[in-house]
C-alpha cells in the first residue's frame, strides 16, 4: 500500500521525526543530569511512556477505552520475576516470556470483551484489572502477595538501564510508525473514526480490535518486565487503578492519537510528579485537574498546542468512548 503524500501521512512523518528528536534529547541528557536519582526518575518515566504508547494504540488509534494498561505491565513484571525466582532463568527468557504471556492474555481478553463498546468495555477491563491484582495479592504462597517479589537486575549501574530503555522506546516508536503507515494502521484508524462505515467496507472489526488489544498488552508486558529488572522488585501496586489513571493522564495531556503525545506526557508528568512529591497526594489532584482542563479546552494536548504556536493545524481530537450499542 503506497502512502503517497496524503496530509495524514505527512503529519505522521512529522510526529515520528519529532519523537525521534525527543528520544535523542533524552539520550544525551545524562551528560547534563549526572545525578543517579534523577537518571532513575527518567528511567521510570520511560517505563510509563511505554505504557502510554501501548494505551494510545488502543484508545488513540482504535478508539477503544481500556482500563488495564498498568495491569498488563504488572503481568509482564511478574512473568519475568516468577521465572527468575523459581527457575533462575536469564533476563532474555524472562522478558520474552513477559511479552508472550501479556500478549496471549490480551488476545484472550480481547476476543471476549472487544465486541463490547463504550462504558461496557471500560467496566469489563476495569473488572479484569482488579481481579488480576487481587489474585496476585492473595496468592501469597506463589507470588509472595503484598510482600512483593525480588527480581534479579541486569546491570550494576543505572546508566545501562537508561540507554536500554531509550533503545527499546526507539524500537517501539519505529515499529509503531511503520504499523500506522501500513494497511493495518489504516484499518485501525477507520474503526476509530467510524466503525459502521469501516465494517461496510469489509474491515474485520473484531479481528483488528483484537490485534490492537494484543499488541497493546504485549508492549505493556515488555515495559513491566524491563521495569521489574530495573527496580529489582515488583508488587501488586504496579496494577493499581491509580497507575492506569496516571497513564491515561499522560496521554491526554500530551496528545491523544499522536506519536508524540505519550512521550511528551510521560516525561513531563512523571518528572513533574517528582517535584510535587513533597505535597503528598495533592499531586494527584493537580494532575486530575489538568486532565479535566485539557479534555475540555485543549483536546489536542500539548502537541496540539505546540502545533498551533507554529500555525500548523492539529489532528482532529479523538473520541475514545463511542456510545454503547
d(CA 131, CA 111): 18
At residue 307, the pLDDT reads: 84
Across 54-87, b (16+ Cβ under 10 Å) vs e yields: bbbbbbbbbbbbbbbbbbbbbbbbbbbbbbbbee
**Given a cut of 70, is residue 320 above it in pLDDT?**
no
Span 233-258, average pLDDT: 94
**Given a cut of 90, is residue 54 above it in pLDDT?**
yes
Question: The pTM is what?
Answer: 0.93
Whole-number percent of the chain with pLDDT over 70: 91
Q: What is the pLDDT of residues 114-135, one digit of tens each?
A: 777 678 888 999 999 999 999 9
3-state SS, residue 201? coil
Of 268, 295, 302, the residue nearest 65 (C-alpha)? 295
- Alpha helices per DSSP H over the chain: 7-28, 36-59, 69-87, 91-113, 118-138, 140-143, 158-181, 183-193, 195-200, 205-231, 241-254, 261-275, 282-297, 301-309
Q: What's phi and psi for 257, nearest 5 deg?
A: 75, 25
Q: What is the pLDDT of residues 145-200, one digit of tens each?
A: 999 999 999 999 999 999 999 999 999 999 999 999 999 999 999 999 999 999 99
Contact 107, 249 (CB under 8 A): no
**Given a cut of 60, is residue 319 above it in pLDDT?**
no
| Helix 241-254, helix 261-275: angle, nearest 10 | 120
Distances 137 to 72, 140, 241 between C-alpha atoms, Å: 15, 7, 14
Distances 230 to 154, 170, 269 between C-alpha atoms, Å: 7, 18, 20
**Given a cut of 60, is residue 235 above it in pLDDT?**
yes
Lowest mean pLDDT among 60-64, 128-132, 244-248, 280-284: 280-284
Burial class (CB in 10 A: 0-12, 13-18, 19+), 51: buried
Lowest mean pLDDT among 83-92, 229-238, 288-297: 288-297
- Output the average pLDDT for the chain: 90
**Given a cut of 90, is residue 316 above it in pLDDT?**
no
Q: What is the band of 78 on the pLDDT scale with cuts at 50, 70, 90?
A: very high
Residue corresponding to grid cell 515495559: 223
At residue 114, the pLDDT reads: 75
Whole-number percent of the chain with pLDDT over 90: 73
At residue 178, the pLDDT reads: 96
Amino acid at each position: 500500500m503506497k502512502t503517497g503524500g496524503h496530509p495524514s501521512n505527512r503529519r505522521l512523518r512529522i510526529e515520528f521525526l519529532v519523537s525521534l528528536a525527543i528520544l535523542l534529547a533524552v539520550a544525551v541528557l545524562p551528560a547534563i543530569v549526572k545525578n543517579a536519582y534523577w537518571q532513575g526518575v527518567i528511567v521510570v518515566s520511560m517505563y510509563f511512556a511505554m505504557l502510554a504508547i501501548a494505551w494510545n494504540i488502543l484508545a488513540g488509534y482504535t478508539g477503544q477505552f481500556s482500563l488495564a494498561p498498568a495491569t498488563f505491565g504488572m503481568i509482564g513484571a511478574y512473568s519475568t520475576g516468577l521465572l527468575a525466582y523459581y527457575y533462575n532463568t536469564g533476563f532474555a527468557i524472562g522478558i520474552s516470556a513477559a511479552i508472550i504471556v501479556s500478549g496471549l492474555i490480551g488476545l484472550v481478553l480481547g476476543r471476549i470483551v472487544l465486541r463490547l463498546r463504550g462504558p461496557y468495555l471500560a467496566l469489563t477491563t476495569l473488572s479484569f484489572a482488579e481481579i488480576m491484582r487481587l489474585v496476585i495479592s492473595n496468592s501469597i504462597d506463589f507470588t509472595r502477595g503484598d510482600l512483593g517479589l525480588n527480581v534479579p537486575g541486569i546491570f550494576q549501574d543505572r546508566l545501562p538501564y537508561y540507554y536500554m530503555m531509550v533503545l527499546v522506546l526507539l524500537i517501539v516508536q519505529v515499529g509503531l510508525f511503520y504499523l500506522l503507515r501500513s494497511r493495518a494502521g489504516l484499518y485501525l484508524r477507520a474503526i476509530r473514526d467510524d466503525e459502521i462505515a469501516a465494517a461496510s467496507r469489509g474491515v474485520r472489526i473484531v479481528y483488528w480490535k483484537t490485534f490492537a488489544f494484543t499488541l497493546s498488552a504485549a508492549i505493556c508486558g515488555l515495559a513491566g518486565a524491563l521495569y521489574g529488572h530495573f527496580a529489582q522488585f515488583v508488587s501488586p501496586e504496579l496494577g493499581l487503578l491509580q497507575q492506569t489513571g496516571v497513564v491515561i493522564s499522560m496521554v491526554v495531556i500530551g496528545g491523544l492519537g499522536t506519536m508524540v503525545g505519550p512521550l511528551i506526557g510521560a516525561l513531563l508528568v512523571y518528572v513533574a510528579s517528582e517535584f510535587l512529591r513533597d505535597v503528598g497526594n495533592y499531586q494527584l489532584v493537580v494532575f486530575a485537574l489538568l486532565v479535566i482542563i485539557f479534555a475540555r479546552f485543549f483536546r489536542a494536548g500539548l502537541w496540539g498546542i505546540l502545533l498551533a504556536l507554529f500555525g500548523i493545524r492539529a489532528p482532529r481530537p479523538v473520541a475514545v468512548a463511542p456510545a454503547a450499542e
